[in-house]
Structure 1
């Protein structure tokens, strides 16, 4: 027996519990925690946008909008899971139902293999997120931490300011550490949101790939001879093909529900992500030309995070398409002529359904795939090129 929540999604459970988004937790403390986290994220974006009041050059506008749009991505992800918590819970429950309906040890082994792969993938992303957080939050304040040891004077300490522009309408030198606390808390919540929600959605896609592999396995087993009795053989054929058709139908319905439940959120994420990437690419080149190393590092890190986020979504979307195509080719190349007439008709159902892509539709505009990733990158680069040409 496989328990999806504790065996495959336990790391996601820890991350989402930390920010109040785990759908199985509905206590008053969880609601307070979610409100607080969402409030910190939202207020951080607001205080970035208020910096437009004091901005006096194009570089400042780019710096403000590039970081603000990045954290808008975090807010959209947070809001998507907060509002659709019941849908997330239903998805996990459906995955558990799939696990409960597995028929033999080989099918358990296949799903465990994909679950192990998902856990390794989640651990790698968490480690990368910790390194990213370390660079973006601690590097700017090392002089403050070791100021007394390195004998750095007060003017040098105050010059070491975070590159994310904000305006709190208070004395920023006097309340420097309080402001830094708010900024770092928002960054930690935002990154935890991206990793926790992103890996959970990608985990659902990885499990779909595993279930499609199980579908292919069941199709391969349809014409395996298990009995010399023709009557028994026919019954076994019919039962195997029924199980294959059933799980394939449920997988397609699961994918359709996943896309429809988050369609609006995916659409907003798509627009915000492309806009943020364009602005951060522009900020990276702009700060490189001005010789601003800290600004260059900030925009480079934000651009890297966005490109990685886009690549992973499209990579696993492509994997889902490939696994569905494998089901089609497996059914097409099977020894269907050895099966009964009833089984042959049911194989036709798999061929017809798998001929249509089982995919992740992003906002009703794009299908997650390598082609989609290429299109989004080209769009972002084209916007960056326009901004760069206008700036010159």
Structure 2
């Protein structure tokens, strides 16, 4: 039984609906869920800023900043979908409409494969982040559990989920604060996953479009398996119509990729800067907490989550680059030499467009790719060495 096309986007749809960013929600429903998320987000930001003001040294500030930047980035992600809502709706409309433009079962299977892959990426991404966050949250309960299992003469120091100042006695109201922080982490994380999983869906979709277009160009000239008769004897306008239709589809795929770039470019620039600084500061924290197994584990979990976050963006950016460039190779691998000269010239137009790779950038400065991912790691290490010298 063939699945409905909405099945492939249900994970992204559910997360976007939770944070009030699904394009087809009613305006009042979107505003309600968005307000609900921002109440928790502002709660986290205010208490973290309060903690910075009561800090007495630079080490304390370094401990607060990574989580403050995380909440800041989540706010950027959620607001991106809010301020770009019209373009997001346009992207999503094309997402569903492109299924109806497919001509054959083979083309549908190609797009279905990419849609299934996008759904799988969204599922793995959300599971990884939530599992890491749950483990991270539970480490805050470690001292309390040890007080019950292996009590000491004095209670162990209170460890919160993340550094924050609640203007009350943390020892007395620990469980209330813990529950509040746990709710903040789980709800705000939904905003992060909603933004990223839909981005993965868009990238996989446009890669699927490029794959379908390449499939069409490779098979413009073919031989029937039954009759073994070449289609070369068909009228020239048959080839012309097929090529013009494929060129139009290629142009739409390029426009879809440019629209993705337009929606996420500024947001990604902010996130990239913040993530690089965050990784550097967390490395400083890790170097200072090596003697404390619990804190060192928390730092490592946070660093791995940040690296995984950046790697997923770089991986998707690399896929878009590769698929946009593969179109020219697929045209060359087809039987273009059997086409009339007029149609061969039309193929040159597509090949010229395919020389320039489609990409996702941060304000046209940084291109998300696997090669540039290593550059970000090198930059983070450089900042880490500089910050470590200040905290020494």
TM-score w.r.t. length of structure 1: 0.91
Q: Structure 2 regions of 5+ residues with no counterpart?
A: none
Give 1:332 shift: 2.5
8 Å contact 2:328–2:350 — kept in the other structure? yes
* Distance in 2 of aligned mates of 1:256 and 1:361: 10
Write out aligned runs for 1:314-329 (5 A): 314-329=314-329
8 Å contact 1:66–1:283 — kept in the other structure? no
Match of 1:224 in 2: 222
Match of 2:288 in 1: 286
* Distance in 2 of aligned mates of 1:261 and 1:30: 19
* Distance in 2 of aligned mates of 1:142 and 1:280: 21
**Residues 4-47 of structure 1, C-alpha deviations (whole Å, 9 max, x = no match):** 4x221101112222222222112424312211211211220221
Change (3 A) 1:98 1:292: same
8 Å contact 1:359–1:368 — kept in the other structure? yes
**Residues 312-360 of structure 1, C-alpha deviations (whole Å, 9 max, x = no match):** 1111111111112211111123322211233112101111000011111
* Distance in 2 of aligned mates of 1:83 and 1:344: 44
Q: Structure 1 regions of 5+ residues with no counterpart?
A: none
Measured on the aligned residues, the alpha-carbon RMSD in Å equals 2.3
* Distance in 1 of aligned mates of 2:8 and 2:88: 15
* Distance in 2 of aligned mates of 1:164 and 1:229: 68
Match of 1:45 in 2: 45
**Residues 114-140 of structure 1, C-alpha deviations (whole Å, 9 max, x = no match):** 122222222222221231122111232
Match of 1:100 in 2: 100
Give 1:166 shift: 0.9
Change (3 A) 1:83 1:98: same
* Distance in 2 of aligned mates of 1:217 and 1:338: 17
* Distance in 2 of aligned mates of 1:63 and 1:164: 9
Change (3 A) 1:79 1:155: farther
**1:173 aligned to which of 156, 171, 174:** 171
Write out aligned runs for 1:1-392 (5 A): 4=5, 6-141=6-141, 144=144, 150=149, 152=151, 155-156=154-155, 159-162=157-160, 164-225=162-223, 232-288=234-290, 291-392=291-392
8 Å contact 1:3–1:96 — kept in the other structure? no
* Distance in 2 of aligned mates of 1:33 and 1:332: 50
TM-score w.r.t. length of structure 2: 0.91
8 Å contact 1:44–1:182 — kept in the other structure? no
